[in-house]
Amino acid sequence: MSFDLIEARELLDRGIGLLMQFEKELRELASELTEKSLRKRYTRFVLRREDYERISRLAEDLSRIRRELEDLERDAPDELEPLLSAARFIALRAQQVLGTLFRYYARFGEEPVQLTAIDEDLATAYVAGAVRAALARRNVEYEDLVEKAGSVRIKPGHDVYEIVFALRQLASVVREAMRRLRR
């Protein structure tokens, strides 16, 4: 085909249509991003090498605590098992969070990290159930502790600080439950 002005014209028409479409999509996306960012804010954590070294030591401590609790749980009377198990579970959850942070550090180095929970965490219900089971059997007052544990939430989107904060609150509930049992 030696010449075809018509096809050239059609090609230009097609090209113009295509470019207009991409232009429109990108402009809409740009507006959407700007608009959404005004409504929603995120948190991130600026962790340096020395922070990761500290986290590493804390992770080892948590691991040891979890192992010790596991040993105690193995030989403990049935009535104490739920509480020990709840404490071990909290230590494990904290360890998992730190493990994820380390994988991130291995991959991205000192880049600011945004670590968020993706599911509703079952730790709350686990701890509340354990407190009720252990204290009710020994006739110790437990309602306020169950309520306190029940009010702790780890929800999708919660950041690493919020997760650790919640786990610490749950651990405090378990600690208080232990104290009441010792009285």
Partner 1 sequence: MLSAISVENVLRNASGWIDRLVGKLEALERLFLSRRRVTDSYDPSDTLRVASTMGEAASWLVFLGDDFDSYAEFLSSARPELGGRIDALRDAIAELGKFCREAAESVDEILEIGLKVAAKSDRRSVEVTRKLYESYQRLREALKRLGRDCGYVLRSKKPGDRIDIALLANDVANCIHVVGEEMAKLRNELEKGMERSGLCYVARDADPWLADLCKRWSGYVERNGDLYMPEDREALVGVVMDGRASFRVGSSTGHATHVYVEDGGVRVRYYDEDQPVNEIFDEVLSRYCNCRSLSDGVECWCPKTEEVKDALARMLSLVTSMDIRIREKGFGKELEFAKRFVWGGGA
CA 99 to each of CA 52, 84, 95, 139, 170: distance values in angstroms, whole numbers, following the listed order:
11, 22, 6, 39, 20
Name the residue among 32, 40, 29, 172 with its Cα closest to residue 114.
40
- Residue 157 is given by DSSP the state T
Instruction: Among 49, 82, 108, 151, indicate the residue that binds partner 1 (CB under 8 A).
Output: 108
User: Does 116 help bind partner 1 (rule: CB under 8 A)?
Assistant: yes
Q: b or e along 63-82 (b: 16 or more beta carbons within 10 Å of the residue's beta carbon)?
A: eebbeebeeebeeeeeebbb
Pick between residue 70 and residue 129 the one whose CB is nearest to partner 1. 70
Least Å from the CB of residue 143 to partner 1 = 21
User: What is the C-alpha to C-alpha distance for residues 45 and 51, in angstroms, rounded to an integer?
Assistant: 11
# residues near partner 1 by CB under 8 A: 92
Binding mask 15-54 for partner 1 (x = CB under 8 A): xx-xxx-xx-xxx-xxxxxx-xxx-xxxxxxxx---x--x
End-to-end CA separation in angstroms for the chain: 99
Instruction: Among 53, 110, 114, 122, indicate the residue that binds partner 1 (CB under 8 A).
Output: 114
Least Å from the CB of residue 147 to partner 1 = 19
User: Does 87 help bind partner 1 (rule: CB under 8 A)?
Assistant: yes
Instruction: Among 111, 143, 144, 147, indicate the residue that binds partner 1 (CB under 8 A).
Output: 111
